[in-house]
Amino acid sequence: MELLLICLSLWILQCNSAGADSIIHIGAIFEENAGRDDEIFQLAISDLSLNDDILQSEKITHSVKSIEANNPFQAVQEACELMNQGILALVTSTGCASASALQSLTDAMHIPHLFIQRNGQGTPRTACHLNPSPDGESYTLAARPPVRLNDVMLTLVTELRWQKFIIFYDADYDIRGLQTFLDQASRQGLDVSLQRVDRNVSRVFTNLFSTMRTEELNRYRDTLRRAVLLMSPRGAQVFIHQAVETNLASKDSHWVYANEEVSDTEIMELVHSSLGRMTVIRQIFPLWRDTNIRCMRNNHRISSLLCDPQEGYLQSLEVSSLYLYDSVLMLANAFYSKLEDRKWHSMASLNCMRKSTKPWNGGWSMLDTIQKRRITGLTGMMDFRAGGSNSHVQFEILGTSYSETFGKDVKRLATWDSTRGLNGSLKESRIENGMQGVTVKVVTLLEDPFVMVAENILGQPKRYKGFSIDVLDSLAKILGFKYEIYQVADGKYGSPTSNGSWNGMIGDLISKRADLAVSAITVTPERESVVDFSKRYLDYSVGILMRKSEEKINIFSLLAPFDLAVWACIAAAIPVVGVMIFILRRVQSVRSQNPPGGHQATSVSTSLQSAIWIVYGAFVQQGGDSILGSVALRIVMGSWWLFTLIVCSSYTANLAAYLTVSRMDNAVRTFQDLSKQMDLAYGTVRDSAVYEYFRAKGTNALEQDSTFAELWRTINKNNGHEHSVSSPSEGIRKAKRDSFAFLWDMAVVEYAALTDDDCTLTVTGNSMSSKGYGLALQHGSPYRDLFSQKILELQEKGDLDILKQKWWPRKGRCDLDSHSEAQPEGRALRLHSFAGVFCILAAGLLLACLVAALETWWSSNRCRREQPKEVTEKAAPTQGPDPLRPLPRPRPRPRPPGPPVLPRDATATLYFMDPGTDTSPDLVELQYTQL
């Protein structure tokens, strides 16, 4: 790590020497005992130099001066030298004495001065009383917020209802910083004692035993039961150890340790050294859980050493070092604003020793720009709009909890900030025998099937039912408490508003209007920072609710594998090839009349109908009349057979694929499927936990998959008003009514699909995260551990699984699993898939019957029309024979002569008359050769 910082410093020096002509020059003054401040300042400059989004092509040059601690004269000398070099702003991290001297100088020279107050040897700091500017224009801005420990301690002792306590403070602590606290405590009637603790702590307790009698020591021991320690972490640890060793600390004592800068390790050492209850007050900064947001602030990428808590470097820094980094970031943003507005004032060299030196004419404009800026850095929000100082500060109150089940532990009891004050409960309460006789006020929100209104008798109080209510009833039965339940006024679960407050059920818990929140409320990091949660009693995942796809029936689906143009070309190819075969066979029949070599070819049919029939039979792979002909006919038929083979094979493959795809009931099964399709709209509830989840995933630049980015673009279209809905019930109705996919809690949408009247809804889901549903309580609630323990017992005994089956039955009127189980049987083709084939067959049969009827009718009409008249007359004689006269004996007919004997090689032409007619005979000419 040290090698890395050395290399980084050398690189920065090279950049500074290379960019000596830069128009941006910052001066810095640090005390010699603040080595980390110099490192962080160099790291901030290097981070900004690597980023072109803020200062574009401009680079920051800097000059750093080191001074002795509490040496105002040296501080002024070094500042004058920096002004002579030409600086735009001055950043200092010193004590109050040096800061007061530098304030006078910067006010006179109109140089913006960002001041970070340092602690002395780990002792809690007190406010620096700077001199007011003579003309009212103070150029010193306090980057580190004013000391607010007095306000936090007063709120704490009031919440704990202390009436008498003692304050121990270090010898290095400025007792004047307690003046405001003592005045306010006196007005409230509190009995406060003060005692200074020397560096030799053991001598303090030795003097107590040597100067006090036994009765006085007992009274003093009773006073020590309630104490506040304003000491360094090391001094407080030694003090507590000595108090335990001398038997002055008892098991029922409660000590409060107040210091802005104390690490987790030091807190654990203090807790384990004490006998009784220990409460710790320290300053905290917002923890960004998203890596991308944590490392990217104000278009500026922060070094991974500072943005990644796992590096360990961030925990080793002092609070002043963090404010120093943010001060440089604030100046960089102010310089960017000046460059963007083209209102840059170049810095001229100032000589502090000359009486005729005029202040910098651009100082007020630069100061005004800095005061109007607001950034979010390592310490959270930073601005100087509240009287020239950064007022954004937040404290956490940690305490030891006692429980026979969980033992001694340190947990966050409450938080305190300058805007909302205390958030949490600090009252001492031990729960040993359950919650017998306790009445808990419960806030809820209707959400099927977690909380629903039960049918009740007219005039009776409103009753509730649901899965969460069953869990609450089970806990009430085990622990013995009663509850009063009411619905939240605004109908929201709880989310932070623009002014920093919370709405919904979370807001009711923070404002202490309710002790417990019960509904489909998920455990999120943001909510857990302001309230407490029990162990989760149901796992959480996000589901996709949509209407079941209706199976489209197309009786001519077997024609779908080919486009209409393909079918038209195939239909046109059949007669074309048939005509070609007809022509070639006609040519062959003409050639066969005079065959070479005197051999007659076998006769074949040469009609057009037979040719087309042969082509059609080959196309449907049913053969046809045999063709014994020329090579040209064979080439044509070979090409046609190859064509039909390819067409039929392609049709078979495409038909199988088409029928397989058409049997898929839902194309959307995952988030990836949802993001890739364009036909189905989707959304969620605006300003909900699911909405914020998709926002975080969709705007995360480090997310490799573009699925969530595409989902967020659709969900957030028109700020969520186009596709997203205002409530879960609206989303369920929209999914049932329209072509819409509703993204919401899996448990809620599953219940909606199971209880749908028409069973038209289906649910698919993706695991969103390892979250769950829990009971929300006030911050620091004494009931959290009991609820968590009993929920674990319900899970172990299987009672929660029984309740799940009650509200989410897998088998019922709307069976969500039936569709997936029916897949093997559903692979068989149904009748409507072949309806087109049966229609074609029926049409062919009807056409054949119609043609047969027409042929019969045509033949009968033709026979009657062409029958000769003389045949009719002969068939009707004018006079019959005499019945009395015998008939003459018939004369034998002569025997017809035999066939004529033709000479050898003679050719005869024979004419045959159609037997059906006796007029206009159709003659067929045949040639006969006498061999």
- The binding site for L-glutamate consists of 522, 527, 745
**Exposure of 732 by Cβ count < 10 A (0-12 exposed, 13-18 middle, 19+ buried)?**
buried
Q: Two tokens at 501?
A: 């407050």
From residue 228, alpha-carbon distances to 169, 171, 240 in Å are 8, 15, 12
Output DSSP code: residue 714.
Answer: H
Residue type, 306: L
In degrees and rounded to multiples of 5, residue 741 shows phi and psi of -105, 125
Rounded distance between C-alpha atoms, residue 417 and residue 396, angstroms? 9
Report yes or no: 415 and 394 within 8 Å, Cβ to Cβ.
yes
Closest CA to 80 of 405, 408, 349, 470: 349
Residue numbering of the annotated binding site: 522, 527, 745
Rounded distance between C-alpha atoms, residue 634 and residue 868, angstroms? 48
Output DSSP code: residue 260.
Answer: S
Three-state secondary-structure class, residue 452: strand
Rounded distance between C-alpha atoms, residue 331 and residue 433, angstroms? 58
Rounded distance between C-alpha atoms, residue 916 and residue 871, angstroms? 12
Residue type, 352: C
Report yes or no: 371 and 120 within 8 Å, Cβ to Cβ.
no
Contacts 24+ apart (CB under 8 A), 125-131: 125/177, 125/260, 126/173, 126/174, 126/176, 126/177, 126/178, 127/177, 128/95, 128/96, 128/99, 128/100, 129/96, 129/100, 130/96, 130/99, 130/100, 130/103, 131/100, 131/103, 131/104
Output DSSP code: residue 867.
Answer: -
Contacts of 448 (CB under 8 A, 6+ apart): 466, 748, 751, 752, 755
Tokens 């029949």 belong to residue: 589
DSSP per-residue letters across 362-428:
THHHHHHHHHH-EEEETTEEEE-TBTTB----EEEEEEEE--TTT-SEEEEEEEEETTTEEEE----
Output DSSP code: residue 830.
Answer: P
Task: Locate all alpha helices (DSSP H) within 258-401, ordered by sequence.
Answer: 264-273, 291-295, 304-307, 319-341, 363-372
DSSP per-residue letters across 86-97:
--SEEEEEE-HH
